[in-house]
Amino acid sequence: MTTHLATEQNGRRGGRSARNPVGRAGYVFVSGYVLFLLAFGVLPTCYAVWLALSNSRNQLVGIGNFTRTFTDYRFGPAFLHIGLYLVIWLASLMILVVLLSLMLHGRMRRASTTLRFLFYLPGALAGVASVLLFLILLDPAASPVGWLLKGFGWNTLAQVNAPGHLPVLFTVIAFWTGAGGWIVVMYGALNSIPDEILEAARIDGASTLQIALRIQIPMITKWIAYMLILAFAAGTQLFVEPQLVSLASWGMIPDSWSPNQLSYQYAFQAGDFNGAAALSVDLLILGLACAALVVFRTGLFDRDER
Amino acid sequence: MNSDVPVTSRRQVRRVAGTALGAVSLLALAACGSADPAAAGAPSSPATFKPVKQEEGSQITVWADAARVPGVQAYQKAHPDVKIKIVTYSGDANGANDLQTKVQLFDRAGSGWPDVAFSANVNDGSWTAQGKTPFAAPVDKGLIPQSTLSGFANGALNPCKFNGTTYCLRNDLAQNVLWYNKKLLDKFGYSVPTTWEEYEALGNRVAKEHPGYLVGTAGDAWSPEVYFWASQCPASATTGAKKVTVNLQDAKCTRMAKLLDSLIAKGSVSKDTVFSAGFIKNQASKVLMLPGPSWYGQVLFNSTFKIPKGQIAAASPLKFEGDAKNYTGNVGGGLWFVSSHSKNLKAASDLVTWMTTSNAYQATAGTYPAYKQAAVAWLAGQKETGYFAEDVAPVFQQAAELIWPGWSATQYSQEAIYSSTVVPALNSGKPLIDTLGTWQTAITDKAKSLGYTVN
């Protein structure tokens, strides 16, 4: 009987795609995206991989560009900076976004619409504009929160931008500009949990904390994993923040603070596009490895069994 | 082993990892060329310049910053027969490297170069003159007459010269002088110092007698050019094509570091930069003296600090008592390039010549012209403004001829290295003298990364 039903369903699905135009419409809908993905995603990536494996005379050099850039005196510090930033940024993003979403979804439902809008608002600004806003906020002489900065003992922009402060400063900027959007997504994910389950848990005597830890967070794990993958990828690509803060502080931040900046220096100061591509491919591999790890650990792409 | 991971997934991971490892091994074996860009790239000395096919009367594209665009428009008005397309860009000011970025891309694409480009970054002369096909055309090989080239101030074209060839024209000079507030100096009963030793002694007195008042700043990006260049410190002396000497432990470097450390400790030299909002708000009115470039007069004291008319004056650059002559550094000074790819070299060269030498434009420009005749007209204009407490002309003209030739334009920026290496250390309380080693390493590493041989 089961076999019969399955065969029938499969036949119906196959029949729909062959005869029904609704099936073909799907391909039409995705075709535009696929074309742009090929033109601006896949082909440039392939070109970058080729550049990373060759030299300026188009000769194959194997992993030569990778070993060369790996031994560059700026490679270690750049990846260390970004590593430190990622640890702080991802930890604060995961904890605060989930916490704020749970609070909005639980105890603050009345005010949640207004608060979600307020949280989202900074993210609606263009990234560069948000960074520019922070350039003013971080200068004790011009900032409306200058008293707070001075409270930390920072009286000049140079003291605020001290090398040790940068990972935290960039985390604050990134959180301000990006976390609001994720709070909205997480709130939507929490909404997808059936009320009956939460109600049943409450009847069984579960506390708010127990409901959050044992029901809500496990049920939105895939969303959290999705956020982790995208935030990791975006974090490794850090470029605008150090570049603009460096300009505003008259060059106090090294021009190769992040790997992406180092790649830019390779390409546009040294004219070494092959080395720049190797660094970009390093970041691609890092991003893919993180994504693969998260996908396999969380079963992000597993289909729900029905 | 994690039992949560499906067996098929683990197999897939192992398969992918195995394939990747195999591919990497194959690639390592398959390598047939050198990954070293110096071996694969362009030679350091360019081939003989061969103009592209010229098209008389064709449109020229001019890239200039907002400050220079009115000048180009004035040229366009005076020469209506020349077709010009003006593109406004950053002019590579404040550490931007837009021109190099774009030229690198145009080099790869094989088209798109502007016919004329202005750059506010005096170091741009180094990269534009190098490579297989340098972006800049040599201007002394028939494009611009020798009589015009010899009209520039002594040493003004040094940042444009490579392997004995001149690749650009200098727009303006940024020679340093000793700026001072005459009104304050008279009020306090001090006289203008003539040596660095007298400057230090006065700085010590100011710290004691008028705490809060300043005689200088060491947190500016261009502090190396103001203090260390004037002290003849061999921080960056090119000795050949892509060869540079870096020696910050030289006595001529350490003497200046010790002098600044002493005044920083006493509080009469600030660790801030003159353009920071905090400095402008709290310290601008307390600047008693400030060694700095000629453009400080109108740009800093007048427009930024808003110091009233009749207070600011300029004195000759300082010298150390043991030195025979006083020298100055150079903080900027724009360059005009004619592109080697231009199809109308004649029009491009004419425009560049007019922009740098004509009184019609240079006499009213914001900064001190590099062309001597235009500088005379410009200085007359400065006198007419009545802003300065004394005529700055004699001092400016003297300083224009005193730029120490030992410090050369390089592909890397001394300003950026000082800012990212020394300024944070100063702000963390470290003395300048203790940062010389780190600073030297930073210059050496950067120079080597760009293909320089460092001695």
Q: Which of residues 7-36 of A touch B (CB under 8 A)?
A: none
> What burial letters (b/e) apply to A68-87, b meaning 16+ CB within 10 Å?
bbeebebbebbbebbebbbe
pLDDT at A17 over 60: no
B65: left (phi over 0), alpha (psi -120 to 50) or beta: beta
pLDDT over 90 for what percent of chain B? 78
DSSP annotation of A54: B
Half-sphere exposure of residue A259: CA atoms within 13 angstroms, side-chain side: 27
Average pLDDT (B263-274) is 96
For residue A246, what is the nearest residue in chain B, using CA coordinates? B420
Average pLDDT value over all residues in chain A:
86
Minimum mean pLDDT range among A25-29, A209-213, B177-181, B187-191: A25-29
Q: Tell me if B335 is assigned to some domain.
A: yes
pLDDT band at B6 (very low <50, low <70, confident <90, very high): low
Q: Is the pLDDT of residue A305 over 70?
A: no
Identify the closest residue of chain B to A71 by CA–CA distance.
B449
Distance between CA atoms of A148 and A133, rounded to whole angstroms? 17
- B135 and B209 housed in the same domain: no
Residue B147 in domain:
yes
User: Which positions in chain B touch A268 (Cβ < 8 Å)?
Assistant: 97, 100-101, 104
* B397 in a structural domain: no
Q: Are A75 and A262 in contact (CB under 8 A)?
A: yes
Q: What range does the domain containing B184 cover?
A: 176-329+404-454
Say which of A63, A270, A292 has its CB closest to residue B28: A63
Over residues B244-252, mean pLDDT: 95
A141, B281: Cβ pair inside 8 Å?
yes
- A18 exposed, middle or buried (CB, 10 Å; 0-12, 13-18, 19+)? exposed
Give yes or no for B311 touching A (CB within 8 A).
no
d(CA B24, CA B18) in angstroms, rounded, equals 10
- Note whether B269 and B285 are same-domain residues: yes
User: Would you say residue A12 has pLDDT above 70?
Assistant: no
| Per-residue pLDDT reduced to its tens digit, A239-296 | 988 988 888 888 889 999 999 999 999 998 888 999 999 999 999 999 999 889 988 8
pLDDT tens digits, residue range A172-211? Answer: 888 888 888 888 899 899 999 998 999 999 999 999 899 9
Q: Does B325 lie in the same domain as B335?
A: no
Domain-located, residue B398: no
Same domain, B68 and B197: no
- Express each pLDDT in B334-368 by its tens digit: 999 999 999 999 999 999 999 999 999 999 999 99
Are B144 and B206 in the same domain? no
Choose among B36, B279, B450: nearest Cβ to A269. Answer: B450
Measure CB to CB from residue A55 to each of B40, B100, B411 and give the nearest one: B40
Tell me, what's the ipTM?
Answer: 0.85
The CATH number that applies at residue B312 is: 3.40.190.10
Tell whether B43 lies on the interface with A, counting CB pairs under 8 A.
Answer: no
- The answer to whether residue B87 sits within a structural domain is yes
Chain A 31-60, residues with CB within 8 Å of chain B CB atoms: 53-57, 59-60
To the nearest whole number, what is the mean pLDDT of chain B? 91
Chain B residues whose CB is inside 8 A of the A299 CB are 4, 6
Residue B422 and residue B440 in one domain? yes
Q: What is the pLDDT of residue B4?
A: 47
